[in-house]
Amino acid sequence: MIKFLALGGADDVGANCFYLNIFGTGLLLDCGAHPRKKGKESLPQFDLIKNEPLDFAIISHAHQDHIGALPFLVQEFPHVIIYSTYQTKEIADLTLHNAANILAQEISLEEGLRNYTHEEIDLLVKSMRDIEYNKSFELCGLRHSLNEKIKITLTDAGHILGAASVIIEIAGQKIVYTGDINLSNQTLMQGADISPFANSSILLTETTYGATDSEKLGGWGGEAKRFAKHANKVLHSGGSVLVPVFALGKTQELLATVYNLMQRKILTEATIYTGGIGKEISNIYDRNRYLVNYCNKELVLKDIPQNNVLDVEDLNIFKKNPGIVIASSGMILRGTTSYKLAEYWLKQSNFGIFGVGYMDIETPGYKIMNAKKGENILLSETSEQQKVLCEIERFYFPSHSRREDLLTIAKKSNASKIILLHGETEAKNWIGYHLLEQKKSIKLYSAEPGKQISLV
Ligand SMILES: [Zn+2]
Ligand SMILES: [Zn+2]
């Protein structure tokens, strides 16, 4: 008996958390927090597995939407044994502490939810078991009903440092959970090798870019040149460029991209600004560059000349000395560095805000990216109308698979049962339609929180 149940993250890019009951062993795949929601609303619905066995959790990578709720899981299920790659564990040590600081202000007033302490995170991270890519190990829960144990293998998913796809094998069944997966090379991370997915029976696949035309996504090389062209225009007019990025993944990739473009004289040399936790994560990238599939092992991020954006007291420096500012958050969420800078940037007609990654609908980043010059926008409910005077440009440096690549993954896996997750309805619809076109006989499911799917 193998049962699947989504506790969150099924119908959008949210609190990813998927429960499997595998012959009596309870296994969670990921335990994320929704980046846009607050308090209990941002967490997976742990209540749904109150009466189910839970023995293990495997974290695919350290983005908040896959790991953010882990400290709350441990509060409710202290006995759960957690696995991840070594790199994910190292990053989690930084990001979970960082998230605790933010959460402390947000959830103190909420009923039924207790924030976790830094000591608890230390304990949690220390107890995480780190696993090497492609080295299989075995699991077996307390109420496991078969003599055969569950074999687990983590493979490099090419999305960010430490990202893994999870392969689960038992009783002739092979289940593949893609996690966030990318088949193409970025500037630093190499695309995933999906050959280990062959001969699967069940595929749990992300669908992030299912609704996005791949022609729009372009390729990293072409987008880098287009980025340089637009950035040159802004820099030559005496303005600065703001690049809102996720601290984990996009910061490192964009820093490497911008530096490479400057080295090749494609992009005008200007001061590069980074800062905050993104800079610390860059050090983890540097340390692990020989241990993972990495495109540019010679490039050391911390050796790239960069100023700390958090040291800037007077924002007018960006008028006097044009620069490129790589700052989180990626979706320009309120209270973050990129939000504070964006408020200033929007007022400067010769400045530019360049979006480079995924922007969730309803976020300030989404509003800015979809605004026209001269238009008035409302960044948040409590802010005042603001006129968009600066240049707004949208670039695509994807760290998720193009939708055709998702079909390739399904084809390669040859799975007869496929569950679609981690995508909005439109994205799942496109993928579902084309999967059925590719192979009529598959059983297709769309994950919905609370809806149990019996797989075997
Ligand atoms: Zn991710
Ligand atoms: Zn994700």
Residue 147's contacts (CB-CB under 8 Å, 6 or more residues apart) are none
Least confident of 24-33, 77-86, 107-116, 328-337: 107-116
* Burial bucket for residue 271 (CB in 10 Å: 0-12, 13-18, 19+): middle
- Provide mean pLDDT across the span 32-36: 85
Handedness of CA 332, 333, 334, 337 (dihedral sign): negative
Question: pTM of the entire structure?
Answer: 0.94
β-strand 25-29 against 56-58: which pairing, if any? parallel
Query: How much distance in Å is there from the Cα of 12 to the middle of ligand 2?
Result: 10
- Do the beta carbons of residue 307 and residue 272 sit within 8 Å? yes
Please tell me the distance between residue 147's alpha carbon and the centre of ligand 2 in angstroms: 34
Helix (H) or strand (E) run with residue 377 in it: strand 376-377
> What stretch(es) of the chain map to CATH 3.40.50.10890?
220-394
Q: How far is the CA of 247 from the centre of ligand 1 (A)?
A: 11
Overall fold of domain 2-212+399-454: Metallo-beta-lactamase; Chain A (3.60.15)
pLDDT number for residue 211:
94
Separation of 206 CA from ligand 2 center, angstroms? 8
pLDDT value at position 107? Answer: 57
3-state secondary structure of 428: helix
> How far, in Å, from the CA of 208 to the mean position of ligand 2?
8
Q: 417, 439 in Cβ contact below 8 A?
A: no
Residue range(s) occupied by CATH 3.60.15.10 in the chain: 2-212+399-454
Correct CATH for 220-394 of 3.30.379.10, 3.40.50.450, 3.40.50.800, 3.40.50.10890: 3.40.50.10890
Distance 268 CA to ligand 2 centre (A): 33
Report whether pLDDT(108) > 60: no
- Cα 316 to middle of ligand 1, angstroms: 34
| pLDDT at residue number 179 | 98
**Residue 103: pLDDT over 70:** no
Q: Both tokens of residue 121?
A: 């995170």
Q: In what order do the strands lie in the sheet with 443-446?
A: 137-139, 150-156, 164-170, 173-177, 202-206, 417-421, 443-446
CA distances to 95, 109, 204, 248, 420 from 291, in Å: 21, 43, 27, 18, 31
Which amino acid appears at position 306 of this protein? Q
pLDDT single digits (tens) 268-327: 999 999 988 999 999 999 999 999 999 999 999 999 999 999 999 999 999 999 999 999
